[in-house]
Structure 1
Amino acid sequence: MTTDLGPARPILYFRGHAKNRLRLHVLLISHGPTPPGDIVVADGTHAPALIYEFEGLSFWRYEFDLPAGAPGYRFEGDDYAVVTELAGDLRLAFVSCNGKEHGDLDREPAERNAMWARLCEEHETAPFALLLQGGDQIYADEVTDGHPLTDKWPDDLEAVPRPDDLADLKRHLERGFIARYVKVVRAPDAARLYAEVPTLSIWDDHDICDGWGSLPEEVADGPVGAVLFEVARRMFLLFQLGLVESDIAAHLPDPTGANLGWRHRLPGVTLVAPDLRSQRRRDRIMGAEGWRLVTGTDPQGDHTIVVSSVPLLGPRLSLIERLLVMIPQMQKYEDDLRDQWQSHVHRDEWRRMLGEMKRLRASGAVTVVSGEIHLATRAEMRASEGTIHQLVASGITHPPPGGAYASALGLLASFGEAPLPDSPIVLLPLPGHRRRYVAERNFLTLSRRDGRWQSQWHLEQSGPTAPMDL
Structure 2
Amino acid sequence: MVNRILGPLLILDHVAQGRMQLAAVFVAPPGQPVPPVRVAGTDVPAQPLLAYGSAQLWRARFAVPADAPSFYEWNGTRFDLASDLGGDLRLAFASCNGEEHGDMDRDEGERNVMWAKLAQEHRRTPFALLLHGGDQIYADEATQGHPMSEGWPDTIPSDPLPHDIDDLRDHLRERFMERYTAQLAQADYAWLVARVPSLAQWDDHDICDGWGSLPRSRTYSPVGQTLFEVAKEAALAFQHGTIAGDLPPRFADPEGYHLNWTIEAPGLRLMGPDLRSERTRRQVMDTGGWADVGAQAETAFAGRTFVVSTVPLLGPRLSILEALMVVTPKMQKYEDDLRDQWQSRAHRDSWRRMLRAMMQIQERDGQDVTILSGEIHLATRATMAVGRGQVLNQLVASGITHRPPPRLWARTLGALSRVGETPLPGHRIRIRRIPGQKLRYVADRNMLVLERRGADWTAIWHFEKSGPPAALPI
1:145-166 Cα distance to aligned partner (Å, 9 max, x none): 0000111121112110111111
Q: Secondary structure of 1:353's partner? A: helix
Q: Secondary structure of 1:464's partner? A: coil
Distance 2:257 2:68 in 1: 37
> Which residue in 1 is equivalent to 2:141?
142
- Maintained 8 Å contact 2:250/2:262: no
> Which residue in 2 is equivalent to 1:328?
329
- Maintained 8 Å contact 2:5/2:26: no
> Which residue in 2 is equivalent to 1:310?
311
User: 1:258: Cα distance to partner?
Assistant: 1.3
> Which residue in 1 is equivalent to 2:122?
123
User: 1:29: Cα distance to partner?
Assistant: 1.1
Distance 1:190 1:249 in 2: 24
Distance 2:392 2:344 in 1: 21
User: 1:451: Cα distance to partner?
Assistant: 1.4
User: 1:63: Cα distance to partner?
Assistant: 0.9
User: Percent identity of the aligned residues?
Assistant: 47
Letter in 1 for 2:9: I
- Maintained 8 Å contact 1:269/1:302: yes
Which of 407, 412, 416 is the matching residue for 1:408? 412
Q: Report the count of equivalent residues.
A: 468
1:206 matched to 2:205: yes
> Which residue in 2 is equivalent to 1:245?
244
User: 1:32: Cα distance to partner?
Assistant: 2.5
Q: Secondary structure of 1:444's partner? A: strand
> Which residue in 2 is equivalent to 1:301?
302
Letter in 2 for 1:416: G
Letter in 2 for 1:130: L
1:421 matched to 2:425: yes
Distance 1:449 1:170 in 2: 48
> Which residue in 2 is equivalent to 1:64?
62
> Which residue in 1 is equivalent to 2:225?
226
Distance 1:418 1:159 in 2: 43
1:342-383 Cα distance to aligned partner (Å, 9 max, x none): 001100010000000000102311100000000000000111
| Consecutive aligned runs of 4 or more in structure 1 exceeding 6 Å deviation | none
Please, what TM-score do these two structures have when normalized by structure 1?
A: 0.98
CA RMSD of aligned residues (A): 1.2
- Maintained 8 Å contact 1:214/1:280: yes
Pick closer, same or farther for the CA change 1:56–1:319 going to 2, 3 Å.
closer
Which of 47, 50, 60 is the matching residue for 2:48? 50
Distance 1:415 1:110 in 2: 40
Q: Secondary structure of 1:336's partner? A: helix
User: 1:70: Cα distance to partner?
Assistant: 4.7
1:17-416 paired onto structure 2 within 5 Å = 17-67=15-65, 68-248=67-247, 250-297=249-296, 298-363=299-364, 364-385=367-388, 386-416=390-420
Distance 2:248 2:18 in 1: 24
Distance 2:192 2:312 in 1: 25
- Maintained 8 Å contact 1:307/1:369: yes
1:432 matched to 2:436: yes
Q: Secondary structure of 1:160's partner? A: coil
1:322-360 Cα distance to aligned partner (Å, 9 max, x none): 121011221111111000000011000100000000001
Moved more, 409-418 or 66-75: 66-75
Which of 435, 451, 457 is the matching residue for 2:461? 457
User: 1:301: Cα distance to partner?
Assistant: 2.5
- Maintained 8 Å contact 1:88/1:451: no
Which of 7, 10, 13 is the matching residue for 1:15? 13
Distance 2:268 2:394 in 1: 16
Letter in 1 for 2:234: M
Letter in 1 for 2:208: C
Distance 1:370 1:454 in 2: 16
Letter in 1 for 2:186: A
Distance 1:26 1:249 in 2: 14
Letter in 1 for 2:385: R
- Maintained 8 Å contact 1:441/1:460: yes
Letter in 2 for 1:315: P
Distance 2:300 2:130 in 1: 20
1:382-437 Cα distance to aligned partner (Å, 9 max, x none): 11141010000000000100000000000000111110112111001100112100
Please, what TM-score do these two structures have when normalized by structure 2?
A: 0.97
Distance 2:251 2:341 in 1: 25
User: 1:71: Cα distance to partner?
Assistant: 2.6
User: 1:250: Cα distance to partner?
Assistant: 4.5
User: 1:271: Cα distance to partner?
Assistant: 0.5
Letter in 2 for 1:221: Y
- Maintained 8 Å contact 2:2/2:28: no
User: 1:256: Cα distance to partner?
Assistant: 2.6
User: 1:171: Cα distance to partner?
Assistant: 0.6
